[in-house]
C-alpha cells in the first residue's frame, strides 16, 4: 500500500503510516496538474485544506481507495466525484474541538478588554489608560447558539469564568442542558437576554444568516457577538450597521463570508477583533488530527475498517448492492423529519416492514439518523450518527414488524421532541424512494430538489392561493401532492418547485388563511 501526504502536517502522520507497513511519500505544494500526473500511483491521499481533490484529479486516480482529510471541512474534496470513483472520504470531526472552543473564549476576552487595540496603542508609545475601559465577564450572560461538541466546551469554560450560560440548540435536551450547567432557551429569548452571543453551529439552510438586521434588533443594546464557527452565519452588512449605530458594542470574528478577508469593511472598526480563521490552529490540534487521520487511513487500507467516512456506511461488500436503495430511502425519510424538527429531540423510532425488515437494519438506521440530524449539524455521517445521537441523549429505537404491509417495503421514522411526536414513512417504487405517509396522512411523492411542505385546515381555495403566490413570484411548480385526514380536517400539501422558495414568499404563504405551517425542504 502506498499513501501520498500532499499538505504540510505533523510528522506523526507519516510515522504512523510507515510503522503500519505502508509506503509514504510526502510531496507538499503540488499543483493540480502535478497531482493529477502522480495520483494514479497511490492507494491513499492525506490532505489538509490546501490540496484540491477535483474531478480532474480523481479521474486519474485509478488506484486510490481513500482520501483522508486532517480536519473537519472537505470543501477541497469533490465528495460526489470521489464516491462515483468508489473512493472513501474520511475526516476527523472531533480532533480540534478544544482548540476551537478555547479560541472563541480567547476572542471573547480580547474583545471585552479591547486587548488588540490597547496593545497597538501601547507599542506605539502611548499610555492611554483611560481610553480602554473594558467590562467584566463575571455575572454576564453568554448566549451559545449551537451547544454541540464545541459549544459545550465553551459553556464549561464560561461557567468557570462565573458567567451565566444560556443555550439554543434544537438537539439539546433539558436533561443534557442540566448536565452541562446551562439553561436551554428558545432563540428569541437568547437574543433578548444575552450580553454576549457566540456561534457554534454549522452553516445550513436553517442557520445561514442567523445573525441579521431582524435578529440584531431583538438583542439588547450593547450586545457583543463572537463567530468562530462558519462564515455566512452573520450578515456582515447588517453587523456593520449595528456597530456604527452602537447597538452592537463589539464583535470578535475568526471567519468571514469571503476569505481571505483582506478588504472586509468590518476590519476598520476598533471594536472588532479579527483573526485569519485560526480556530483549529494549535500545535495540539494539528497533531491530533494528523494522528487520527493516519490511523483511520491505515485501518481502512489494511483492515477495511471505516471510521468517520462521509460517503460510506459500515456495510460489508456483500451487503452493499442490495442495501443501498433502502439506506437511501431511510436517509431521505430521516432528512424529511429532521428539516421539520425545530425543538430538542427526545427519541427516534425507526420501524421496518416488508422487505426492509428482512435486511441488516443497522446501516439503514444509521442512514436515517444521519438524514435526521444533518439539517442542524455538520460532520454527521452514517458512521458517527449513532454515536452523536447517544452523546446527545437521544433515545433511538429500532422495530422490525412481521405484520402484513400495504407496501413491499416500508420505513417509518417517528420523532418525539419536547413539543410533539411526528411520523414520516416511505417506500420504494421501482427502486426509487417516495414518501407515502406524513403524520398519519397519506401523501405519495418523490423527495428530490426543492420542496415546500404546508400543513393547513382543509378548506376550499388553498391550492389556488398558493399557486398564485408562487406563480406571481416566478416560481414554477414541478409537482403538487395533497393529502388529508378527513373532509374539513387537517391537510398536507407537498409541492416540488424548480427553484428554492425565498423567505418573503414563504412568509406570504404562511400568512394565508387556514395555513398552519409552511417549511422549505431540500433533498
Lowest mean pLDDT among 86-100, 119-133, 187-201, 304-318: 304-318
State the average pLDDT over residues 119-126: 95
Task: Give yes or no: 346 in active site.
Answer: no
To the question of domain 313-439 being in CATH 3.90.1150.10, the answer is: no
306-323 per-position pLDDT tens digit: 788 888 765 554 566 788
State the average pLDDT over residues 504-510: 94
Report helix, strand or coil for 11: coil
168-213 per-position pLDDT tens digit: 999 899 999 999 999 999 999 999 999 999 999 988 888 999 999 9
In CATH, the number for domain 2-95+284-310 is: 3.40.50.720
Q: What is the pLDDT of residue 383?
A: 58
For residues 204 and 432, what is the distance between their CA atoms, to the nearest angstrom? 26
Angle ∠(377,381,386) on CA atoms, nearest 5:
90
Q: Say which residue the cell 435526521 belongs to.
A: 372
Contact 97, 151 (CB under 8 A): no
Cell numbers describing residue 470: 408562487
Q: What is the pLDDT of residue 386?
A: 82
Number of Cβ within 10 Å of residue 304's Cβ equals 10
CB-based burial label for 198 (10 Å; 0-12, 13-18, 19+)? buried
378-405 per-position pLDDT tens digit: 768 775 788 788 888 899 999 999 888 8
C-alpha torsion angle, residues 501, 504, 505, 510 (rounded to 10): 110
**How far is C-alpha 399 from the chain's CA centre?**
28
Task: Give yes or no: 507 in active site.
Answer: no
For residues 152 and 158, what is the distance between their CA atoms, to the nearest angstrom? 10
State the average pLDDT over residues 142-155: 95
Q: Pinpoint the residues of the chain covered by CATH 3.30.70.260.
A: 447-523
To the question of domain 447-523 being in CATH 3.30.70.260, the answer is: yes
Q: Pinpoint the residues of the chain covered by CATH 3.40.50.720.
A: 2-95+284-310, 97-274
For residues 77 and 90, what is the distance between their CA atoms, to the nearest angstrom? 10
For residues 172 and 200, what is the distance between their CA atoms, to the nearest angstrom? 13
Lowest mean pLDDT among 79-93, 129-143, 286-300, 457-471: 79-93
Task: Give yes or no: 355 in active site.
Answer: no
> Which of 103, 176, 200, 230 is an active site residue?
230
Lowest mean pLDDT among 63-67, 115-119, 190-194, 277-281: 277-281
Beta strand spans in 194-318 (E): 196-199, 223-227, 248-253, 272-274
Q: What is the pLDDT of residue 416?
A: 95
> Which of 34, 128, 258, 259 is an active site residue?
259
For residues 304 and 298, what is the distance between their CA atoms, to the nearest angstrom? 9
Cα 42 to Cα 4, 31, 66, 292, 435, distances in angstroms: 6, 17, 10, 20, 42
CA neighbor of 223 nearest in space, from 209, 208, 234, 207: 234
Contact 118, 141 (CB under 8 A): no
Q: What is the pLDDT of residue 75?
A: 79
State the average pLDDT over residues 117-122: 95
To the question of domain 97-274 being in CATH 3.30.300.30, the answer is: no
Query: Percent of the chain at pLDDT above 70?
Result: 98
420-448 per-position pLDDT tens digit: 899 999 999 988 999 999 999 999 999 98
The torsion angles phi and psi of 521, rounded to 5 degrees, stand at: -125, 150
Q: What is the pLDDT of residue 220?
A: 97
CA neighbor of 20 nearest in space, from 415, 279, 248, 305: 305
State the average pLDDT over residues 124-136: 93
- How does the average pLDDT of the chain come out, rounded? 92
**pLDDT(413) > 80:** yes
340-358 per-position pLDDT tens digit: 988 888 999 999 999 999 9
DSSP state of 229: S
| 391 CB-near residues (< 8 Å, 6+ apart) | none
> Which of 277, 346, 422, 457 is an active site residue?
277
Number of Cβ within 10 Å of residue 149's Cβ equals 19
Cell numbers describing residue 259: 476569505
State the average pLDDT over residues 475-499: 93
Lowest mean pLDDT among 183-197, 225-239, 373-387, 403-417: 373-387
End-to-end Cα separation, the chain, in angstroms:
37
Lowest mean pLDDT among 58-62, 63-67, 487-491: 487-491
Contact 113, 166 (CB under 8 A): no
Exposed e or buried b for every residue in 66-79, given b needs 16+ CB within 10 A?
Answer: bbbbbbbebebbbe
Q: What is the pLDDT of residue 320?
A: 62
State the average pLDDT over residues 145-157: 95
Q: Which helix (H) or strand (E) holds 166?
A: strand 164-168
CA neighbor of 254 nearest in space, from 69, 75, 99: 99
Amino acid at each position: 500500500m502506498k499513501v501520498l501526504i500532499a499538505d504540510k502536517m505533523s510528522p506523526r502522520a507519516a510515522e504512523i503510516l510507515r510503522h503500519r507497513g505502508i509506503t509514504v511519500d510526502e510531496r507538499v505544494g503540488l499543483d493540480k496538474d502535478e497531482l493529477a500526473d502522480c495520483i494514479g500511483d497511490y492507494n491513499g491521499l492525506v490532505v489538509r485544506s490546501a490540496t484540491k481533490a477535483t474531478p480532474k484529479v480523481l479521474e486519474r486516480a485509478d488506484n486510490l481507495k481513500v482520501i483522508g482529510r486532517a480536519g473537519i471541512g472537505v470543501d477541497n474534496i469533490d465528495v460526489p466525484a470521489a464516491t462515483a470513483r468508489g473512493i472513501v472520504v474520511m475526516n476527523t470531526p472531533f480532533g480540534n474541538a478544544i482548540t476551537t472552543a478555547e479560541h472563541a473564549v480567547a476572542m471573547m476576552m480580547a474583545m471585552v478588554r479591547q486587548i488588540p487595540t490597547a496593545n497597538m496603542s501601547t507599542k506605539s508609545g502611548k499610555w492611554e489608560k483611560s481610553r480602554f475601559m473594558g467590562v467584566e465577564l463575571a455575572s454576564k450572560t453568554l448566549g451559545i447558539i449551537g451547544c454541540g461538541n464545541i459549544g459545550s466546551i465553551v459553556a464549561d469554560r464560561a461557567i468557570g469564568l462565573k458567567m451565566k450560560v444560556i443555550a439554543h440548540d434544537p438537539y439539546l435536551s433539558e436533561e443534557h442542558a442540566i448536565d452541562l450547567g446551562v439553561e436551554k432557551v428558545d432563540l428569541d429569548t437568547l437574543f433578548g437576554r444575552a450580553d454576549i452571543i457566540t456561534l457554534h453551529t454549522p452553516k445550513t439552510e436553517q442557520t445561514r444568516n442567523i445573525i441579521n438586521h431582524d435578529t440584531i434588533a431583538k438583542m439588547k443594546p450593547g450586545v457583543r457577538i463572537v463567530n468562530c464557527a462558519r462564515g455566512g452565519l452573520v450578515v456582515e452588512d447588517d453587523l456593520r450597521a449595528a456597530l456604527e449605530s452602537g447597538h452592537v458594542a463589539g464583535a470578535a470574528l475568526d471567519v468571514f463570508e469571503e476569505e481571505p478577508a483582506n478588504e472586509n469593511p468590518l476590519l476598520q472598526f476598533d471594536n472588532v477583533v479579527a483573526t485569519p480563521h485560526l480556530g483549529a490552529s494549535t500545535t495540539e490540534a494539528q497533531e491530533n488530527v494528523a494522528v487520527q487521520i493516519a490511523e483511520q487511513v491505515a485501518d481502512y487500507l489494511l483492515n477495511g475498517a471505516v471510521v468517520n467516512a462521509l460517503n460510506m456506511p459500515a456495510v460489508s461488500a456483500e451487503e452493499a448492492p442490495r442495501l443501498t436503495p433502502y439506506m437511501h430511502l431511510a436517509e431521505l425519510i430521516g432528512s424529511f423529519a429532521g428539516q421539520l424538527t425545530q425543538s430538542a429531540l427526545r427519541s427516534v423510532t425507526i420501524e421496518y416492514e416488508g422487505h426492509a425488515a428482512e435486511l441488516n437494519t443497522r446501516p439503514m438506521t444509521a442512514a436515517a439518523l444521519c438524514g435526521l440530524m444533518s439539517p442542524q449539524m455538520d460532520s454527521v455521517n452514517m458512521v458517527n450518527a449513532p454515536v452523536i445521537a447517544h452523546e446527545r441523549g437521544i433515545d433511538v429505537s429500532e422495530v422490525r414488524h412481521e405484520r402484513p404491509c400495504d407496501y413491499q417495503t416500508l420505513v417509518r421514522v417517528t420523532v418525539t421532541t419536547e413539543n410533539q411526536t411526528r411520523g414520516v414513512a416511505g417506500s420504494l417504487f421501482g427502486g426509487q424512494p417516495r414518501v407515502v405517509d406524513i403524520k398519519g396522512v397519506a401523501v405519495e411523492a418523490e423527495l428530490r430538489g426543492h420542496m415546500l411542505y404546508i400543513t393547513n385546515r382543509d378548506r376550499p381555495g388553498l391550492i389556488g392561493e398558493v399557486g398564485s403566490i408562487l406563480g406571481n413570484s416566478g416560481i414554477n411548480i414541478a409537482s403538487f401532492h395533497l393529502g388529508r385526514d378527513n373532509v374539513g380536517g387537517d391537510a398536507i400539501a407537498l409541492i416540488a418547485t424548480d427553484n428554492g422558495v425565498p423567505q418573503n414568499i414563504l412568509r406570504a404563504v404562511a400568512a394565508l388563511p387556514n395555513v398552519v405551517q409552511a417549511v422549505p425542504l431540500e433533498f
